[in-house]
Chains A and B, each alone.
Chain A
Amino acid sequence: MNQEQTRARYAVGIDLGTTHCVLSYVDLDADDDAALEVMPVPQLSAPGTIDEKWQLPSFVYQAHESELSGDDLSLPWSQEPVVVGTLARELGSKTPIRLVASAKSWLCHGGVDRHSAFLPLNSPDEVPKLSPLDATGLYLEHLRRAWDYWYPDTPLVDQDVTITVPASFDPAARELTADAARNIGFRHLTLLEEPQAAVYSWIEASKDAWRDEVGVGDIILVVDIGGGTSDFSLVAVTEDDGNLQLNRVAVGDHILLGGDNMDLALAYRLRAKLAQQGTNLQPWQVMGIVHACRDAKEKLLADPDVESVPIVVPSRGSKLLGGTLRTELTRDEVRESLVEGFFPQVGIDDHPAAQARGALTQMGLPYAQDAAISRHLAAFLSRQHGAADELFGAGAGDFIKPTRILFNGGVLKAPALAERTLTIINSWLSTAGAPQATLLSGLDLDLAVARGSAYYGAVRQGQGVRIRGGIASAYYVGIESAMPAIPGMEPPVEALCVAPFGMEEGSEAEVPGREFGLVVGEPVRFRFFGSTTRRDDTAGTLLDYWEPEELEELPEIQATLPVEGRTPGEVVPVRLASRVTEVGTLRLEAIPRDGAERWQVELDVREQ
C-alpha cells in the first residue's frame, strides 16, 4: 500500500444520479477559499460529435454493429465500445430495446440478482446485456476517463472521491455502489447520503452565514425530489462546546417517484385530450409530447402570467408543414395534474396505502403506487415522530415538527411546486400549533449534490462542520424461534439486532449471547431486516414481537464458510459481528468460537 505517497490533491464529489451524473471538485492545495468547480464532461451528443456538458446522462446504449461506425464513437481519450451519456439517451429514445436506464434503481432492488446481466430488461437475446453493477461502473469509468483527460497528472483513482447514494439505499445497494467504484480502481472512497450532500452544499454556498440561519433546537427537513426518486432526511441542530453541530437523525424510505413521472402524467393527459378530439397518437408522438411537456411544465410553473404553452410535436419525415401536431398545455391542466396530483393538500395522518410487499419476485422496478408526494412526506414525518427525542427531549404530538426546510432536486426548481410543498408542511404545523417552518435557500438544485459531496471531501481533510449520523437504520437477522411446528403455519421469527441505529463509520459491534451453527462449505441464508425507527436496540437485542411498520424485510443475506482446513459438512458455531467501514458500508462477519478468523456475510446474495 503506497497510499501515503499518493496523497490526494483534489476532493472529488460524484453525484451518481438515476438520470444524470455530475462530478464536482475542490483543489485541496489551493488557499483557504478554494473554489468548487464542476467538471465539464466530454461526451457524444450525436454520432461523431463530442460536446462538453456539466451532466452525463446515466444511460448506456448497446448499439447494433451496423448502426454506428468506429469513428462515430471516438471520444477525446479513446473509442468506446458502448455509448454512454447524451447520445445513448438520444438513440435509446428511438430504440428502447437497446437502452439501459435507471441502473441505480435496479441497484437497490432486492428482488433481482444485481450481479447478473439482465439490462435492457426484456430485450431480444442478441442485444448484449449488462448488470446494474456493470452499468454503474460504465458511468464511473466515463467520468474517470474524462477526469484523466483534463488532469493527466493527477489520476482520479488517486483523488479523494466521495460518491453520493440515496439516504434510503439498503446496505447491499451501498456495498454494490462501493464495489462498482472499487472495480474502477478508486483508492480513497467514501459514500455520502444525497440529502446530507445537499446540506453540505448549502453550508458551502452560505459561507459562514449558515450559523445565522439555524440555531440549537432547529430540525431541518431535507426534501429531495429528483428525476426518478424522492428522498427525505431530518437533520437536528445541537451545540457542542459552543459550536453548532448537525446531526442527521432520520432518513425516509426509497420512493421511486420523481420529475419523470410528472412529465409522463402530463403527456398522458394530453394524449387523452387529443384522443377526445379524434387524434390518436403514435408512440413516437407520445415521446415527443413527453419532451415538450418537460419544457412547458417548467415555463408554466415558473411564470404565473403564462396561461398556456403550445405543445408542438414535429412530423418525423422531412415534411414539416401539415404533419406537425399542435396542442397546448394550460395552467389549469398543470395545476390539476402536478400540483393536485403529486402534491395534494392532505392531512398529516393521510398516508400512502401500504404497498404489498409480495411483489419481490416480479421483474420490474417497484415504482411508488401512490403518486402523492405529500402523503409520503406525511408518513415520513409521522413515522419519525420520535427522531429527535434523544437530542431535544420527547416532543409532543404524532409527528416530528421541522423548523427549517431545505429543498433539493430539479423538480423543486419550479416555484409553484416548492411553494405548495412548503404550504402543506406549514399547514400541518399550524394545525398542531407549532411555529411555521422557513425555507433555507441558496442551492443550485441540479448541481448541489455533486458540489456538496466535493465540499464534504474537503471538510474531511480539515476543519469545517461535519454532519454526524452514523447508519440510519438498525439491522436485524431473522431467527426461527424454537417452537413446536404447527402444520400450515410458518414458524414465528424472532429478530436479533446485529447493528444498532447510529453506528458510526469505523466502529464495530459484536453480537453477544447468541451462536449460530454454520455448515462448512454450504451457504446458509438468513432473513434480514432493517428499521429506521427503533433507535434504542443494541447489538444482541432479541425481538419476538414488532409492529409491521417498524421492521422492513430486506433481501436475504448469506454466510458461506470456506472448506479450507475443515471437513465439509462440519457444523461450526459462530458469533456475528458488524462493522461500519470507513467507506460507509455495513459489514457483517461470522466469527467462529475457536479461532481468530472472520468470514464475511454476503449482503447481496447471488443467484445460484
Chain B
Amino acid sequence: MNFDFTAIPTTLDAVHLGLAVLAALFLLLYLTKGSSSQPAPQAAPQPEPKPEPAPEAKPAPKPAPKLKEATPDAALQLLSLLQQEARFVDFVREDLAGFSDADIGAAARVVHEGSRKALDEYFRFEPVRGEDEESRVTLPEGFNAHEVRLTGNVVGKAPFTGTLVHRGWKVTEVKLPKLAEGHDTRVIAPAEVEL
C-alpha cells in the first residue's frame, strides 16, 4: 500500500472534522490537567510529605499518587459503606407506615449489625468523658470547650460543677478505604441485574 503524504484533502470530510475536534479536546484536557496528571497507570509509589493516619504500629503507608484523598468524597464513601454493609439508605428511605414492629425489628437488626461492623472497621471511638452519666463532674479552668458543652444555668466562672448528661464520643482513628482515581462516589450502590 502506498501513502501519498503530499496529498492535502481539499474538502473537509466527517472523519477529518472528527479528528480535529478530538485533537482540540485532547489539547484542552492537557491544559486543564496540566503537569499534575500521571502519565502511566503503573506509576511507582512515591513518598509524599503529608502524613496520614496509619494503622497502629504498622509501616507508615506511603500515599500513592493514583489514590485520591477521600476529602469531598468522604461523605459519599461513608454512605456507600453504610449502604453496602447495613442497607442504611434502603432502610431510611422506606416508609415504615403499614409495617409491624416485628418487620421493622428484623430490618433494624440488619441495619444495626451492619452499621456496627462498618463503624468498628473504619473508626476507633472513645467517650470524651470516662465518668458515669448522671454523675457529678467538675470542669477545671481552661477545660476544652470543643469537647465539653455547657448547658442550663451557664453563669459564673470555671471550675464548673454539673451533671454529666452525655459522655460524648470522640473518634481517635479514621481508616477509610482509599478510592481509585475516576471512581464515581455518587453511585453508592450499583443497580444489580442477574443474568
Contact surface of A with B, Cβ cutoff 8 Å: 37, 39-40, 42, 45-52, 70-74, 76-79, 94, 149-152, 310, 312, 314, 316, 318-322, 324-326
Q: Is the CB of A71 within 8 A of B183?
A: yes
B62, B77, B99: the one contacting A321 at CB < 8 Å is: B99
CB contact list, B60-106 vs A, under 8 A:
61-62, 64, 66-67, 77, 80, 84, 87, 90-91, 93-94, 96, 99, 102-104, 106
Q: Which residues of B contact A42 (CB under 8 A)?
A: 178
What separation, in Å, do the CA atoms of A49 and B190 have in the docked complex?
14
Q: Is the CB of B179 within 8 A of A48?
A: yes
Q: Which residues of A contact B184 (CB under 8 A)?
A: 48
Instruction: Give the 7 A-B residue pairs with the shortest CB-CB distance, closest first.
Output: A48-B183, A74-B180, A71-B182, A51-B177, A76-B64, A326-B106, A48-B180
24 contacts across the A-B interface (CB closer than 8 A): A37-B58, A40-B61, A42-B178, A47-B190, A48-B184, A49-B183, A50-B177, A71-B180, A74-B180, A76-B64, A77-B44, A77-B45, A79-B42, A94-B194, A149-B64, A312-B110, A314-B87, A319-B90, A319-B94, A320-B94, A321-B99, A324-B106, A324-B110, A325-B106
The answer to whether the Cβ of B41 comes within 8 Å of any Cβ in the partner chain is yes
B62, B91, B93, B109: the one contacting A149 at CB < 8 Å is: B62
CB contact list, B157-195 vs A, under 8 A:
175, 177-184, 190, 192, 194
What separation, in Å, do the CA atoms of A46 and B107 have in the docked complex?
23
Q: Which residues of A contact B94 (CB under 8 A)?
A: 319-321
**From residue A264, how far is it (CB to closest CB) to chain B in Å?**
21
Q: Is the CB of B106 within 8 A of A71?
A: no
**From residue A51, how far is it (CB to closest CB) to chain B in Å?**
4
Q: Which residues of A contact B104 (CB under 8 A)?
A: 321
**From residue A412, how far is it (CB to closest CB) to chain B in Å?**
23
Interface string of B47-65 (1 = CB under 8 A from A): 0000000010111011010
B57, B90, B103, B182: the one contacting A318 at CB < 8 Å is: B90
Q: Is the CB of A50 within 8 A of B62?
A: no
Q: Is the CB of A314 within 8 A of B110?
A: yes
Q: Interface residues of A: mostly helix, strand, loop or mixed?
A: mixed
User: Count of A-B contacts with CB under 8 A?
Assistant: 111
What separation, in Å, do the CA atoms of A39 and B55 have in the docked complex?
10
A49, A150, A151: the one contacting B180 at CB < 8 Å is: A49
Interface range, B side: 35 or more
A321 touching B103 in the complex, CB below 8 Å, given contacts A149-B45, A314-B87, A314-B110? yes
Q: Which residues of A contact B87 (CB under 8 A)?
A: 314, 320
Q: Is the CB of B41 within 8 A of A79?
A: yes
A51, A152, A314, A324: the one contacting B103 at CB < 8 Å is: A324
Q: Is the CB of A320 within 8 A of B90?
A: yes
Q: Which residues of B contact A326 (CB under 8 A)?
A: 102, 106, 109
Q: Which residues of A contact B67 (CB under 8 A)?
A: 50, 74, 76
What separation, in Å, do the CA atoms of A322 and B180 have in the docked complex?
36
Chain B, residue nearest A312 (CB): B109
What separation, in Å, do the CA atoms of A314 and B113 have in the docked complex?
12
A150 touching B107 in the complex, CB below 8 Å, given contacts A74-B66, A319-B90, A319-B94? no
What separation, in Å, do the CA atoms of A310 and B108 have in the docked complex?
12
What separation, in Å, do the CA atoms of A486 and B172 have in the docked complex?
81
Q: Is the CB of A151 within 8 A of B99?
A: no
